[in-house]
Amino acid sequence: MTEQDFIPKTYSKTKDSGSVTWSSPSNIALVKYWGKKEDQIPENPSISFTLDNCKTTTILSFSKKESNDAFSFDVFLDDDKKDDFKPKIETFFKRIERYLPFLKEYHFKIETSNTFPHSSGIASSASGMSALALCLMSLEKELSENISQDYFNQKASFLARLGSGSACRSIEGNLIVWGTHQNIDGSSDLFGVKYPYEVHQNFKNYQDTILLVDKGEKQVSSTVGHDLMHNHPFATRRFAQAHESMSKLIKIFKNGDLDAFLKIVESEALTLHAMMMTSMPYFILMKPNTLEIINKIWAFRIETNSKVCFTLDAGANVHILYPEREKDAVLKFIKTELVAYCQNGHYISDQIGFGAQQIDN
Chain residues binding ligand DP6 by CB under 6 A are 29, 32-34, 40, 46, 123, 125, 164-166, 222-223, 226, 272, 313-314
- Of 103, 94, 124, whose CA–CA distance to 23 is shortest? 124
Q: Nearest distance from residue 202's CB to ligand DP6, in Å?
A: 22
Q: Nearest distance from residue 142's CB to ligand DP6, in Å?
A: 28
Count of alpha carbons within 13 angstroms of residue 307, beta-carbon side: 19
DSSP 41-78: EESS-EEEEEEEEEEEEEEEEEEE-S--SS-EEEEEET
Nearer to ligand DP6, 46 or 306 (CB): 46
Q: Nearest distance from residue 40's CB to ligand DP6, in Å?
A: 5
Q: Nearest distance from residue 49's CB to ligand DP6, in Å?
A: 11
Long-range contacts of 150-158 (CB under 8 A, 24+ apart): 154/1, 154/191, 155/6, 155/99, 155/191, 156/130, 156/356, 157/130, 157/133, 157/191, 157/192, 158/6, 158/99, 158/190, 158/191
Pairwise CA distance, residues 273 & 142, whole Å: 44
Q: Nearest distance from residue 176's CB to ligand DP6, in Å?
A: 11
CB 243 within 8 A of CB 250: no
Nearer to ligand DP6, 72 or 278 (CB): 278
Residue nearest to ligand DP6 (CB): 165
How many C-beta neighbours within 10 Å does residue 178 have?
A: 29
Q: Nearest distance from residue 251's CB to ligand DP6, in Å?
A: 21
Q: Nearest distance from residue 305's CB to ligand DP6, in Å?
A: 29
Neighbouring residues of 273: CB distance < 8 A, sequence distance ≥ 6: 284, 285, 286, 312
- Kindly report whether the peptide bond that precedes residue 281 is cis, defined as omega within 30 degrees of 0: yes
DSSP 122-148: ---HHHHHHHHHHHHHHHHHHHSS---
Nearer to ligand DP6, 166 or 279 (CB): 166
Nearer to ligand DP6, 166 or 343 (CB): 166
Q: Nearest distance from residue 48's CB to ligand DP6, in Å?
A: 6
| Phi-psi domain of 334 (left: phi exceeds 0; alpha: psi -120 through 50; beta: other) | alpha
Nearer to ligand DP6, 20 or 132 (CB): 132
Nearer to ligand DP6, 172 or 313 (CB): 313
Count of alpha carbons within 13 angstroms of residue 96, beta-carbon side: 28
Nearer to ligand DP6, 223 or 255 (CB): 223
Nearer to ligand DP6, 24 or 125 (CB): 125
